[in-house]
Amino acid sequence: MRVAVTGASGTIGLATVNMLVRAGHQVRAFVRTAARLRGRCREERIEVVEGDILDRAAVAAALSGADAVIHCVDFSLREFALSWDALRHALEALRPGGQFVYPGVVWVFGPPEDGRVGPEHPKTSPARLGAVRADLEKAVTAEGGTVVRLPDVYGPGVLRGPLHDMFERALTGKTIRVLGDLDRAVEYLYIEDAARALIAPLGRPQGRGRDYHAPGFAPTTPRQFAALIFTSTGGAPRLRSLSPRWLRLLALTRRDRRAASELGYMYENPILLDGTRTRRELGWMPEVDYADGVRRTVRWLRARTASQGAAYTAASA
């Protein structure tokens, strides 16, 4: 299939581009700066188109002719409202009958009512950001698109976020800091499993207008995950929990932090995704366990440090 990826220079977009190439698709990467993508991706078999997602005409031109669009643009919390224009432009650019896939987030849900959270669970996030995001995701399925909800991802090519911070701190001999209880149940998803989940709906009509969950390999805890990192790095285990109240304190200083602090409920009420529908309808399951995923991540980060500018290709895993 001819598949266009927006936000192709970002964490999820880049991994998706690599996975699409690996799966034999024809890939067009929509990015603000081609050099930024080329600096992170050595893959030659992709067409790179530069443009701004907020420029409707540029998006229409860049996505024309694609059989499917995987929309991986993301904005900072300060610019979050731009997500609406970005989504509208990408949806409008899709050819009639084309497939649209959008990575979803767990914070559309409120505290879980009972056990694992399936796609039908009420999307009643107490956070304003969560409510807006739920509306964005609903707009996608209403247009016949597919939402694939992911927990936090980690792995080669992931260079931001709380999980990356854990790896980075362990590799530089610093104490890993984790928000919330170190022994609460959490799940993390290896980046290639996330990318496989995002391309799983392609060519499957049953995925249109539906949402799916791509859970992590298994429930773990921040303490157990950190222990795997320390085993891989060989460093002394140094781990500290930060109270979610810390988020509320930060919120006093900036409006965007206030919005983020509303998501603090997730540190006290972990949300674990139920992937039954994804397994049944799309044949997707996570493949990379935590020990293997952590080992690959540490190896990649070390190699990157050794030769700054190392680009991630799917083959490096």
Ligand X SMILES: NC(=O)c1ccc[n+]([C@@H]2O[C@H](COP(=O)([O-])OP(=O)(O)OC[C@H]3O[C@@H](n4cnc5c(N)ncnc54)[C@H](OP(=O)(O)O)[C@@H]3O)[C@@H](O)[C@H]2O)c1
What residues line the site for ligand X (CB under 6 A)?
A: 7, 9-13, 32-33, 36, 52-54, 72-75, 103, 105, 150, 152-153, 161
Instruction: Report in angstroms how near the CB of residue 54 gets to ligand X at its nearest.
Output: 5
d(CA 116, CA 298): 30
* Cα distances (angstroms) measured from residue 94 to each of 21, 87, 180: 20, 11, 41
CB closer to ligand X out of 168 and 238: 168
Supply 289's token pair. 């366990």
d(CA 230, CA 80): 35
Supply 139's token pair. 């707009």
Instruction: Report in angstroms how near the CB of residue 172 gets to ligand X at its nearest.
Output: 21
Instruction: Report in angstroms how near the CB of residue 312 gets to ligand X at its nearest.
Output: 13
CB closer to ligand X out of 152 and 238: 152
Amino acid at 235: G
CB closer to ligand X out of 195 and 239: 195
Closest chain position to ligand X (CB):
10
Instruction: Report in angstroms how near the CB of residue 60 gets to ligand X at its nearest.
Output: 14
Instruction: Report in angstroms how near the CB of residue 252 gets to ligand X at its nearest.
Output: 25
Q: Output the CA angle 317-165-22, nearest 5 degrees.
A: 20
Helix, coil or strand: residue 50: strand
CB closer to ligand X out of 32 and 208: 32
CB closer to ligand X out of 32 and 258: 32
Which residues lie closer than 8 Å to 61 by C-beta, 6 or more apart?
49, 51
Distance of CA 38 to the CA centre of its chain: 20
Which residues lie closer than 8 Å to 26 by C-beta, 6 or more apart?
1, 2, 3, 47
Helix, coil or strand: residue 17: helix
Instruction: Report in angstroms how near the CB of residue 62 gets to ligand X at its nearest.
Output: 10
CB closer to ligand X out of 57 and 249: 57
